[in-house]
Amino acid sequence: MSTVDKALGILDLFSEARPSLGLTEAARLSGRDKATVLRYLNALEKKGFLEQDPATRAYHLGPALVRLAVIRETTYPVSQAARMILGKLVESTGETAHLSHFAGESLSQIAVEETATHGTRVFIDMAEALSFHGTASGIAFLSACPPERARALLKGPLATHTPATPRDPETVLAQAALASRQGFAVCPGTFEADVCGIAAPVFGPSGEVCGAVAVATPSSRMSDAARSRISRAVRKAAAEISRHYGARMPVQGAAE
């Protein structure tokens, strides 16, 4: 792993639940010594990716990220069309829907639409990365990857999110193969114990998988009928988003 990778990895430590970090906590979470982490923090602060509170000495995300986000949204928007498709997915399923894109070693959330149908609904943290082995989005993504790429994405220790999280790469690859055959992935309680996710892969202009669209529902509302209904809706949404992204191929999982 390069120095740049290690420094940028510090940014992944921030989330809505953890908006600021001190040096000691950053070192503990990253598994690196304080002197090394301080160099990374200083470099990120110099470029505006981080700011340091003069009173608490804690670091929080800086304005450079806002600037880059504006450029990203202007030049390659997660368009209104994709959000409209997510909105229709929420309406048809009555559950929270989210869209993720491939980013380095995981899937990053780029759009979330919450349901207003139920008082109890799944909360999606936009800052939280989705693992390939523990989420329906991840399994759906792997299902559309060439075998060698899927194996490469599963190298290294696989985190345990819940007792149901698969940690054997062969088990995960078998789940991905099943998702490939049926056009969608189902993961009950593997990322959050009381949540069931159903996802389908999304494709870009090159025809390669670029992300996944998913519905997350409390496990208590998941039944065979709900699974059938939601999986059809997710496949349709994935096909529509892929067409919007310019995919020029028969989209895997397209609604019949």
In a domain? residue 249: no
Between 74 and 158, residue with greater pLDDT: 158
pLDDT of residue 252: 45
**Bigger pLDDT: 123 vs 37:** 37
**149 found inside a domain:** yes
Q: pTM of the entire structure?
A: 0.73
Which strand (E) or helix (H) includes residue 244? helix 224-244
Same domain flag for 105 and 216: yes
**Is 70 exceeded by the pLDDT of residue 127?**
yes
Same domain, 89 and 55: no
Give yes or no: residues 57 and 111 share one domain: no
Structure confidence at residue 256 (pLDDT): 34
CA torsion, points 200, 204, 209, 210, in degrees to nearest 10?
Answer: -90
pLDDT in the model for residue 165: 95
In a domain, 256, yes or no: no
Domain count, the chain: 2
Q: Do residue 32 and residue 150 come from a single domain? A: no
Give pLDDT, residue 253.
Answer: 39
Domain CATH for 60: 1.10.10.10
pLDDT digits (tens, 9 = 90+) for 214-238: 999 999 999 999 999 999 999 999 9
Q: What is the pLDDT of residue 148?
A: 94
CATH number of domain containing 201: 3.30.450.40
Domain span at residue 84 reads 77-244
Encode pLDDT of 1-40 as tens digits.
588 888 988 998 998 789 999 999 999 999 999 999 999 9
Q: Which of 67, 89, 116 delimits the end of a domain? A: 67
Q: Does residue 162 share a domain with residue 182?
A: yes
Residue 86's pLDDT band, with cuts at 50, 70 and 90, is very high
Lowest-confidence segment of 36-40, 47-51, 73-77 by average pLDDT: 73-77
Same domain, 236 and 117: yes
Pair 46, 25 in one domain = yes
How much is the pLDDT for 78? 60
| Residue where a domain terminates, one of 49, 67, 85 | 67
Q: Is 219 inside any structural domain? A: yes
Q: Are 201 and 61 in contact (CB under 8 A)?
A: no
DSSP string, 15-73: -SS--EE-HHHHHHHHT--HHHHHHHHHHHHHTTSEEE-TTT--EEE-HHHHHHHHHHH
Q: In this predicted model, which residue has the larger pLDDT, 86 or 5?
A: 86
Which pLDDT value is given to residue 74?
76
Question: Model confidence at 117, in pLDDT bands (50, 70, 90)?
Answer: confident
Q: Are residues 25 and 121 in the same domain?
A: no
